[in-house]
Structure 1
Amino acid sequence: MIASRGLAGLKTRDLASEIGCANGAVYNLVADVDELILRVGSRTLHRLDDALSAAEGAGEPAPQERLVRIAIAYCDFAAENLQLWRALFEHRMAADKIVPDWSVDDQMRLFRHIYVPLAALFPRRSPEDLGITARSLFSAVHGMVALGLEQKLVAVPLPALRKEIAGLVRAMIDGLIARAPSGREA
Protein backbone atom coordinates (compact mmCIF):
# COMPACT_ATOMS: atom_id res chain seq x y z
CA MET A 1 0.00 0.00 0.00
CA ILE A 2 2.81 2.44 0.86
CA ALA A 3 4.70 1.42 -2.27
CA SER A 4 1.79 2.37 -4.49
CA ARG A 5 0.17 5.26 -2.59
CA GLY A 6 2.91 6.67 -0.43
CA LEU A 7 2.84 7.15 3.30
CA ALA A 8 -0.15 9.49 3.10
CA GLY A 9 -2.10 6.73 1.35
CA LEU A 10 -1.74 4.25 4.22
CA LYS A 11 -5.17 3.67 5.76
CA THR A 12 -5.60 0.85 8.26
CA ARG A 13 -9.20 0.35 7.16
CA ASP A 14 -8.06 -0.26 3.56
CA LEU A 15 -5.24 -2.48 4.78
CA ALA A 16 -7.62 -4.57 6.88
CA SER A 17 -9.96 -4.94 3.93
CA GLU A 18 -7.08 -5.97 1.66
CA ILE A 19 -5.82 -8.67 4.03
CA GLY A 20 -9.35 -9.80 4.87
CA CYS A 21 -9.72 -8.93 8.53
CA ALA A 22 -11.57 -6.46 10.73
CA ASN A 23 -10.02 -3.02 11.09
CA GLY A 24 -9.19 -3.60 14.75
CA ALA A 25 -7.50 -6.92 13.97
CA VAL A 26 -4.60 -5.03 12.38
CA TYR A 27 -3.69 -4.00 15.92
CA ASN A 28 -3.32 -7.64 16.91
CA LEU A 29 -0.29 -7.63 14.60
CA VAL A 30 1.22 -4.26 15.54
CA ALA A 31 0.74 -1.92 18.49
CA ASP A 32 -0.11 1.11 16.39
CA VAL A 33 0.36 2.80 13.02
CA ASP A 34 3.86 3.90 14.01
CA GLU A 35 4.96 0.31 14.51
CA LEU A 36 3.33 -0.70 11.23
CA ILE A 37 5.26 2.00 9.37
CA LEU A 38 8.50 1.11 11.17
CA ARG A 39 8.03 -2.57 10.26
CA VAL A 40 7.55 -1.64 6.60
CA GLY A 41 10.61 0.61 6.92
CA SER A 42 12.60 -2.28 8.36
CA ARG A 43 11.80 -4.44 5.34
CA THR A 44 12.75 -1.55 3.05
CA LEU A 45 16.06 -1.05 4.86
CA HIS A 46 16.89 -4.76 4.57
CA ARG A 47 16.24 -4.59 0.83
CA LEU A 48 18.41 -1.46 0.61
CA ASP A 49 21.16 -3.27 2.53
CA ASP A 50 21.01 -6.12 0.00
CA ALA A 51 21.23 -3.64 -2.88
CA LEU A 52 24.23 -1.87 -1.36
CA SER A 53 25.98 -5.18 -0.66
CA ALA A 54 25.43 -6.27 -4.27
CA ALA A 55 26.78 -2.95 -5.54
CA GLU A 56 30.00 -3.36 -3.64
CA GLY A 57 30.59 -6.24 -5.99
CA ALA A 58 32.89 -9.19 -6.03
CA GLY A 59 36.51 -8.78 -5.15
CA GLU A 60 37.83 -5.79 -3.30
CA PRO A 61 37.28 -2.55 -5.18
CA ALA A 62 39.36 0.40 -4.06
CA PRO A 63 37.67 2.16 -1.14
CA GLN A 64 36.84 5.27 -3.16
CA GLU A 65 35.28 3.18 -5.94
CA ARG A 66 33.33 1.21 -3.35
CA LEU A 67 31.89 4.47 -1.99
CA VAL A 68 30.94 5.57 -5.49
CA ARG A 69 29.24 2.24 -6.19
CA ILE A 70 27.15 2.31 -3.04
CA ALA A 71 26.17 5.95 -3.59
CA ILE A 72 24.90 5.14 -7.08
CA ALA A 73 23.16 2.01 -5.77
CA TYR A 74 21.47 4.16 -3.13
CA CYS A 75 20.23 6.50 -5.85
CA ASP A 76 18.98 3.61 -7.98
CA PHE A 77 17.22 1.99 -5.02
CA ALA A 78 15.48 5.27 -4.20
CA ALA A 79 14.39 5.74 -7.83
CA GLU A 80 13.08 2.17 -8.08
CA ASN A 81 11.33 2.22 -4.68
CA LEU A 82 10.43 5.87 -4.47
CA GLN A 83 7.40 5.75 -2.17
CA LEU A 84 8.92 3.22 0.24
CA TRP A 85 12.19 5.16 0.29
CA ARG A 86 10.38 8.45 0.93
CA ALA A 87 8.40 6.84 3.76
CA LEU A 88 11.69 6.15 5.58
CA PHE A 89 12.25 9.89 5.88
CA GLU A 90 8.73 11.28 5.96
CA HIS A 91 7.40 9.35 8.93
CA ARG A 92 7.40 11.29 12.18
CA MET A 93 6.52 9.79 15.52
CA ALA A 94 5.21 11.87 18.40
CA ALA A 95 7.99 13.63 20.29
CA ASP A 96 7.34 11.55 23.42
CA LYS A 97 7.55 8.21 21.59
CA ILE A 98 10.85 6.38 21.46
CA VAL A 99 11.99 4.66 18.28
CA PRO A 100 12.48 0.96 19.17
CA ASP A 101 16.05 -0.33 19.34
CA TRP A 102 15.42 -2.82 16.51
CA SER A 103 14.46 0.05 14.20
CA VAL A 104 17.49 2.14 15.16
CA ASP A 105 19.71 -0.95 14.63
CA ASP A 106 18.24 -1.44 11.14
CA GLN A 107 19.14 2.13 10.25
CA MET A 108 22.60 2.18 11.78
CA ARG A 109 23.62 -1.16 10.27
CA LEU A 110 23.62 0.45 6.82
CA PHE A 111 26.40 2.86 7.73
CA ARG A 112 28.94 0.03 7.59
CA HIS A 113 28.79 0.36 3.80
CA ILE A 114 30.29 3.83 4.17
CA TYR A 115 32.29 3.38 7.36
CA VAL A 116 34.40 0.40 6.21
CA PRO A 117 35.84 2.03 3.07
CA LEU A 118 36.37 5.30 4.96
CA ALA A 119 38.28 3.37 7.65
CA ALA A 120 40.48 1.89 4.92
CA LEU A 121 41.14 5.35 3.49
CA PHE A 122 41.76 6.99 6.87
CA PRO A 123 43.09 4.29 9.21
CA ARG A 124 44.30 6.75 11.88
CA ARG A 125 41.00 8.53 12.31
CA SER A 126 39.05 7.78 15.46
CA PRO A 127 35.85 5.73 15.18
CA GLU A 128 33.89 8.85 16.20
CA ASP A 129 35.46 10.96 13.44
CA LEU A 130 34.86 8.21 10.89
CA GLY A 131 31.23 8.02 12.00
CA ILE A 132 30.78 11.76 11.52
CA THR A 133 32.39 11.63 8.08
CA ALA A 134 30.21 8.64 7.13
CA ARG A 135 27.06 10.51 8.16
CA SER A 136 28.22 13.64 6.33
CA LEU A 137 28.89 11.71 3.12
CA PHE A 138 25.50 10.02 3.41
CA SER A 139 23.82 13.39 3.96
CA ALA A 140 25.44 14.86 0.85
CA VAL A 141 24.41 11.91 -1.33
CA HIS A 142 20.95 11.70 0.23
CA GLY A 143 20.38 15.40 -0.42
CA MET A 144 21.31 15.01 -4.07
CA VAL A 145 19.03 11.98 -4.40
CA ALA A 146 16.12 13.58 -2.56
CA LEU A 147 16.23 16.76 -4.61
CA GLY A 148 17.23 15.07 -7.85
CA LEU A 149 14.27 12.67 -7.76
CA GLU A 150 11.73 15.38 -6.95
CA GLN A 151 9.19 15.70 -9.68
CA LYS A 152 9.47 19.48 -9.62
CA LEU A 153 11.81 22.13 -10.95
CA VAL A 154 14.93 20.60 -9.39
CA ALA A 155 14.40 17.15 -10.94
CA VAL A 156 17.50 15.71 -12.61
CA PRO A 157 17.39 12.93 -15.21
CA LEU A 158 18.55 9.71 -13.55
CA PRO A 159 21.64 9.14 -15.76
CA ALA A 160 22.85 12.69 -15.06
CA LEU A 161 22.08 12.30 -11.35
CA ARG A 162 24.18 9.13 -11.18
CA LYS A 163 27.09 10.92 -12.86
CA GLU A 164 26.83 13.92 -10.54
CA ILE A 165 26.68 11.70 -7.44
CA ALA A 166 29.81 9.83 -8.54
CA GLY A 167 31.56 13.17 -9.07
CA LEU A 168 30.50 14.45 -5.66
CA VAL A 169 31.71 11.33 -3.83
CA ARG A 170 35.05 11.38 -5.63
CA ALA A 171 35.51 15.10 -4.99
CA MET A 172 34.63 14.75 -1.32
CA ILE A 173 37.07 11.87 -0.81
CA ASP A 174 39.81 13.63 -2.82
CA GLY A 175 39.29 16.72 -0.65
CA LEU A 176 39.43 14.72 2.58
CA ILE A 177 42.64 13.02 1.45
CA ALA A 178 44.22 16.35 0.43
CA ARG A 179 43.20 17.95 3.73
CA ALA A 180 44.66 15.13 5.83
CA PRO A 181 48.02 16.03 7.43
CA SER A 182 49.80 13.03 5.90
CA GLY A 183 47.54 11.95 3.09
CA ARG A 184 45.52 8.98 4.26
CA GLU A 185 46.80 9.04 7.81
CA ALA A 186 44.24 11.42 9.29
Structure 2
Amino acid sequence: MNDVQKTGSDSAERPGAKTSARRADLRARLVAAGRAAVAEGGLQNLKARDLAAAAGCAVGAIYNVFDDLDDLILRIGADTLARLEQGLAAPPGPAPEPAEELLRLACGYFSFARADKALWRALFEHRLAGGRPAPAWYLEDQSRLFALVEAPLARLLPDEPASSRALLARTLFSAVHGVVSLGLEEKLAPMPEAILEAELERLVRAFAAGLTLLPPG
Protein backbone atom coordinates (compact mmCIF):
# COMPACT_ATOMS: atom_id res chain seq x y z
CA MET A 1 0.00 0.00 0.00
CA ASN A 2 2.82 2.40 0.86
CA ASP A 3 4.49 1.67 -2.48
CA VAL A 4 1.25 2.43 -4.31
CA GLN A 5 0.80 5.67 -2.40
CA LYS A 6 4.38 6.68 -3.06
CA THR A 7 4.05 6.00 -6.78
CA GLY A 8 0.87 8.06 -6.92
CA SER A 9 2.54 10.90 -5.05
CA ASP A 10 5.53 10.87 -7.41
CA SER A 11 3.29 11.04 -10.48
CA ALA A 12 1.32 13.91 -8.95
CA GLU A 13 4.49 15.91 -8.34
CA ARG A 14 6.09 15.18 -11.69
CA PRO A 15 4.08 17.65 -13.85
CA GLY A 16 4.92 20.55 -11.54
CA ALA A 17 8.57 19.58 -11.49
CA LYS A 18 8.62 19.42 -15.28
CA THR A 19 6.99 22.85 -15.50
CA SER A 20 9.56 24.32 -13.11
CA ALA A 21 12.38 22.75 -15.10
CA ARG A 22 11.01 24.15 -18.36
CA ARG A 23 10.67 27.61 -16.84
CA ALA A 24 14.22 27.47 -15.48
CA ASP A 25 15.52 26.32 -18.86
CA LEU A 26 13.70 29.14 -20.66
CA ARG A 27 15.01 31.69 -18.18
CA ALA A 28 18.56 30.44 -18.73
CA ARG A 29 18.15 30.58 -22.52
CA LEU A 30 16.78 34.11 -22.38
CA VAL A 31 19.58 35.32 -20.09
CA ALA A 32 22.15 33.76 -22.42
CA ALA A 33 20.49 35.37 -25.45
CA GLY A 34 20.29 38.69 -23.65
CA ARG A 35 23.92 38.51 -22.57
CA ALA A 36 24.98 37.83 -26.17
CA ALA A 37 22.87 40.73 -27.44
CA VAL A 38 24.31 43.18 -24.91
CA ALA A 39 27.86 41.96 -25.55
CA GLU A 40 27.36 42.57 -29.27
CA GLY A 41 25.67 45.95 -29.23
CA GLY A 42 24.98 47.21 -25.72
CA LEU A 43 21.65 47.61 -23.95
CA GLN A 44 20.08 49.24 -27.01
CA ASN A 45 20.57 45.92 -28.80
CA LEU A 46 18.20 44.18 -26.37
CA LYS A 47 14.87 43.69 -28.16
CA ALA A 48 12.11 41.33 -27.03
CA ARG A 49 11.40 39.93 -30.51
CA ASP A 50 15.07 39.15 -31.15
CA LEU A 51 15.46 37.59 -27.72
CA ALA A 52 12.45 35.35 -28.27
CA ALA A 53 13.80 34.21 -31.63
CA ALA A 54 17.23 33.45 -30.16
CA ALA A 55 15.73 31.56 -27.21
CA GLY A 56 13.23 29.69 -29.40
CA CYS A 57 10.07 30.95 -27.70
CA ALA A 58 7.16 33.32 -28.29
CA VAL A 59 7.56 36.95 -27.30
CA GLY A 60 4.86 36.56 -24.66
CA ALA A 61 6.77 33.70 -23.05
CA ILE A 62 9.43 36.18 -21.91
CA TYR A 63 6.90 37.73 -19.55
CA ASN A 64 5.91 34.35 -18.18
CA VAL A 65 9.36 33.96 -16.61
CA PHE A 66 10.39 37.61 -16.10
CA ASP A 67 8.32 40.47 -14.72
CA ASP A 68 9.49 42.76 -17.54
CA LEU A 69 12.62 43.54 -19.55
CA ASP A 70 14.06 45.36 -16.54
CA ASP A 71 13.92 42.08 -14.63
CA LEU A 72 15.72 40.31 -17.46
CA ILE A 73 18.37 43.03 -17.64
CA LEU A 74 18.96 42.68 -13.90
CA ARG A 75 19.47 38.94 -14.34
CA ILE A 76 21.97 39.63 -17.12
CA GLY A 77 23.69 42.10 -14.79
CA ALA A 78 23.76 39.49 -12.02
CA ASP A 79 25.40 37.08 -14.44
CA THR A 80 28.00 39.74 -15.26
CA LEU A 81 28.63 40.40 -11.56
CA ALA A 82 29.08 36.67 -10.94
CA ARG A 83 31.64 36.46 -13.74
CA LEU A 84 33.46 39.48 -12.37
CA GLU A 85 33.42 38.00 -8.86
CA GLN A 86 34.84 34.75 -10.19
CA GLY A 87 37.56 36.61 -12.07
CA LEU A 88 38.54 38.58 -8.95
CA ALA A 89 38.57 35.60 -6.59
CA ALA A 90 41.82 35.23 -4.70
CA PRO A 91 44.23 32.66 -6.14
CA PRO A 92 45.33 29.76 -3.92
CA GLY A 93 48.24 30.32 -1.59
CA PRO A 94 49.15 32.78 1.17
CA ALA A 95 47.38 36.12 1.06
CA PRO A 96 49.62 38.93 -0.24
CA GLU A 97 50.15 42.19 1.58
CA PRO A 98 46.94 44.25 1.69
CA ALA A 99 48.19 46.89 -0.74
CA GLU A 100 49.23 44.20 -3.22
CA GLU A 101 45.84 42.52 -2.92
CA LEU A 102 44.04 45.80 -3.50
CA LEU A 103 46.21 46.39 -6.54
CA ARG A 104 45.45 42.89 -7.85
CA LEU A 105 41.73 43.58 -7.51
CA ALA A 106 42.01 46.93 -9.28
CA CYS A 107 43.98 45.43 -12.17
CA GLY A 108 41.54 42.52 -12.37
CA TYR A 109 38.65 44.96 -12.57
CA PHE A 110 40.36 46.84 -15.38
CA SER A 111 41.06 43.61 -17.26
CA PHE A 112 37.42 42.53 -16.98
CA ALA A 113 36.09 45.90 -18.12
CA ARG A 114 38.48 45.93 -21.07
CA ALA A 115 37.59 42.38 -22.15
CA ASP A 116 33.80 42.66 -21.67
CA LYS A 117 33.29 46.36 -22.22
CA ALA A 118 29.65 46.29 -23.33
CA LEU A 119 28.52 44.03 -20.47
CA TRP A 120 30.57 46.03 -17.97
CA ARG A 121 29.13 49.30 -19.27
CA ALA A 122 25.59 47.93 -19.04
CA LEU A 123 25.99 47.47 -15.28
CA PHE A 124 26.10 51.25 -14.88
CA GLU A 125 23.94 52.40 -17.79
CA HIS A 126 20.77 50.54 -16.83
CA ARG A 127 18.16 52.44 -14.82
CA LEU A 128 14.99 50.79 -13.56
CA ALA A 129 11.78 52.27 -14.92
CA GLY A 130 10.06 54.79 -12.68
CA GLY A 131 13.14 55.27 -10.53
CA ARG A 132 12.55 51.98 -8.72
CA PRO A 133 15.38 50.86 -6.42
CA ALA A 134 17.30 47.70 -7.26
CA PRO A 135 15.88 44.60 -5.56
CA ALA A 136 17.55 43.21 -2.45
CA TRP A 137 18.90 40.11 -4.21
CA TYR A 138 20.74 42.28 -6.74
CA LEU A 139 22.22 44.48 -4.02
CA GLU A 140 23.45 41.32 -2.30
CA ASP A 141 25.25 40.32 -5.50
CA GLN A 142 26.93 43.73 -5.54
CA SER A 143 27.88 43.49 -1.87
CA ARG A 144 29.87 40.30 -2.48
CA LEU A 145 32.16 42.26 -4.78
CA PHE A 146 32.68 44.97 -2.18
CA ALA A 147 33.47 42.23 0.35
CA LEU A 148 36.49 41.30 -1.78
CA VAL A 149 37.81 44.81 -1.23
CA GLU A 150 36.88 44.88 2.44
CA ALA A 151 38.96 41.75 3.19
CA PRO A 152 42.41 43.32 2.57
CA LEU A 153 41.22 46.55 4.18
CA ALA A 154 40.43 44.55 7.34
CA ARG A 155 44.05 43.35 7.43
CA LEU A 156 45.37 46.83 6.64
CA LEU A 157 43.14 48.53 9.24
CA PRO A 158 42.31 45.94 11.93
CA ASP A 159 41.07 48.62 14.36
CA GLU A 160 38.75 50.28 11.85
CA PRO A 161 35.03 49.68 12.48
CA ALA A 162 33.47 47.32 9.97
CA SER A 163 30.99 49.98 8.84
CA SER A 164 33.84 52.37 8.13
CA ARG A 165 35.75 49.74 6.16
CA ALA A 166 32.63 49.13 4.08
CA LEU A 167 32.54 52.81 3.17
CA LEU A 168 36.25 52.81 2.38
CA ALA A 169 35.77 49.82 0.08
CA ARG A 170 33.11 51.69 -1.85
CA THR A 171 35.25 54.83 -1.98
CA LEU A 172 38.19 52.91 -3.40
CA PHE A 173 35.96 51.12 -5.89
CA SER A 174 34.52 54.45 -7.02
CA ALA A 175 38.01 55.86 -7.54
CA VAL A 176 39.22 52.81 -9.47
CA HIS A 177 36.03 52.71 -11.52
CA GLY A 178 36.44 56.39 -12.36
CA VAL A 179 39.96 55.89 -13.67
CA VAL A 180 38.96 52.79 -15.64
CA SER A 181 35.83 54.44 -17.03
CA LEU A 182 37.55 57.62 -18.16
CA GLY A 183 40.39 55.60 -19.65
CA LEU A 184 38.33 53.06 -21.56
CA GLU A 185 35.67 55.53 -22.71
CA GLU A 186 38.36 58.08 -23.64
CA LYS A 187 36.15 60.89 -22.35
CA LEU A 188 39.08 63.16 -21.56
CA ALA A 189 41.82 62.00 -23.91
CA PRO A 190 43.06 58.68 -25.31
CA MET A 191 45.19 56.88 -22.74
CA PRO A 192 47.39 53.89 -23.59
CA GLU A 193 46.59 50.84 -21.47
CA ALA A 194 50.11 50.73 -19.98
CA ILE A 195 49.71 54.28 -18.69
CA LEU A 196 46.23 53.53 -17.38
CA GLU A 197 47.57 50.52 -15.46
CA ALA A 198 50.40 52.64 -14.06
CA GLU A 199 47.94 55.29 -12.89
CA LEU A 200 45.78 52.63 -11.26
CA GLU A 201 48.81 51.37 -9.36
CA ARG A 202 49.70 54.90 -8.26
CA LEU A 203 46.14 55.48 -7.07
CA VAL A 204 45.83 52.22 -5.12
CA ARG A 205 49.23 52.47 -3.48
CA ALA A 206 48.62 56.09 -2.45
CA PHE A 207 45.19 55.16 -1.08
CA ALA A 208 46.55 52.23 0.92
CA ALA A 209 49.52 54.21 2.27
CA GLY A 210 47.35 57.16 3.21
CA LEU A 211 44.90 55.01 5.17
CA THR A 212 47.58 53.91 7.58
CA LEU A 213 48.25 57.55 8.50
CA LEU A 214 44.65 58.35 9.40
CA PRO A 215 42.98 57.77 12.80
CA PRO A 216 40.29 55.04 12.87
CA GLY A 217 36.90 56.20 11.55
TM-score by length of 2: 0.78
Larger of the two Rg values belongs to structure: 2
What residue ranges of structure 1 are gaps of 5+ in the alignment?
none
**Residues 1:7 and 2:47 aligned together:** no
Higher relative CO (Cα under 8 Å, sequence separation at least 6) belongs to 1
> How far is 1:149 from its partner?
0.3
Alignment-derived partner of residue 130 in structure 1: 165
Q: Secondary structure at the match of 1:111?
A: helix
Amino acid aligned to 1:109: R
Query: What SS is found at the alignment partner of 2:102?
Result: helix
Letter in 2 for 1:106: D
Q: CA 1:65 to 1:81, structure 2 compared with 1: closer, same or farther past 3 Å?
A: same
Instruction: Please name the residue that 1:168 is paired with.
Output: 203
For residue 135 of structure 1, report the CA deviation from its aligned partner: 0.7
Aligned to 1:51: 87
Letter in 2 for 1:30: F
Q: CA RMSD in A?
A: 1.6
Corresponding position: 1:93 with 2:128? yes
SS at match of 2:212: helix
Question: Are residues 1:143 and 2:186 paired?
Answer: no
Cα deviation code 1:134-155 (max 9, x no counterpart): 1100000000011110145433
Relative to 1, partners in 2 of residues 1:33 and 1:14: Cα closer, same or farther, differing over 3 Å?
A: same
Q: How far apart in 1 are the matches of 2:131 and 2:188? A: 36
Counting matched residue pairs gives 181
Please, which of 103, 112, 115 is the counterpart of residue 150 of structure 2? 115
What's the offset of the Cα at 1:49? 0.3
Gaps of 5+ in 2: 1-36
1:57 and 1:67, CA in 2 relative to 1: closer, same or farther beyond 3 A? farther
Identity of aligned residues (%): 47
TM-score by length of 1: 0.91
AA partner of residue 119 (structure 1): A
CA distance in 2, matches of 1:146, 1:44: 17
Q: Residues 152 and 140 from structure 1, CA distance in 2 versus in 1: closer, same or farther, beyond 3 angstroms?
A: closer
Q: Is the 8 A contact 2:77 2:122 kept in 1?
A: yes
**Does the 8 A contact of 1:147 with 1:155 survive in 2?**
no
User: What is the aligned partner in structure 1 of residue 107 from structure 2?
Assistant: 72
Match of 1:105 in 2: 140
Distance 2:130 2:48 in 1: 22
Larger mean Cα displacement after TM superposition, 2-11 or 145-154: 145-154
The residue number in structure 1 matching 2:78 is: 42
CA contact (8 A) 2:70 2:129 kept: no
